[in-house]
Amino acid sequence: MEQRPDTGGKALSVILRDAESVQRYFMPQIRGGGVVVETPNLLPMGTDVLLMITLPDSGQRTPVMGKVVWIMPKDNRDGFPPAIGVRFTSDRSGILARIQSILGGLPSGRSREIRAF
């Protein structure tokens, strides 16, 4: 996954290059879906964010509005990279359905990586 914040800090570009990246960074436990964005520039809880998401099923960036609902601090004891969890708040583009379709194409016996988010 790559992410690039814009100069305002409230827009993030997220590139998920393959189905495994989608599986790793998608947050299915959040109602309406969301993604983990690894970034050294942590945004405060409740911050509205414009995500520009590129999925492996298309080379195009898809805009999705979201809200920061989770933060992994830089100095966490588990050694995870700093990150924020962003819940989708306005999914007019159908990104959640596309993510679920990508995940549905993975082998059913495949173990899902559990991260301590």
And the tokens for 41?
A: 């520039």
User: β-strand 83-90 against 34-38: which pairing, if any?
Assistant: antiparallel
Distance, CA of 56 to CA of 59 (rounded, Å): 7
- Give the pLDDT score at 1: 52
CATH architecture of 2-103: Beta Barrel (2.40)
Query: Model pTM?
Result: 0.80
- Give the pLDDT score at 69: 96
CA nearest neighbour of 38 among 55, 50, 21: 21
Q: How do the pLDDT tens digits run along the chain, 117 residues long?
A: 544 444 344 899 999 999 999 999 999 999 999 999 999 989 999 999 999 999 998 889 999 999 999 999 999 888 899 999 999 999 888 999 999 999 998 876 444 443 444
Name the 3-class secondary structure at 107: coil
Measured CA to CA in angstroms, residue 35 lies from 13, 53, 73 at distances of: 12, 10, 16
- Scan for tokens 């809880």, then name that residue: 45
Domain positions in the chain are 2-103
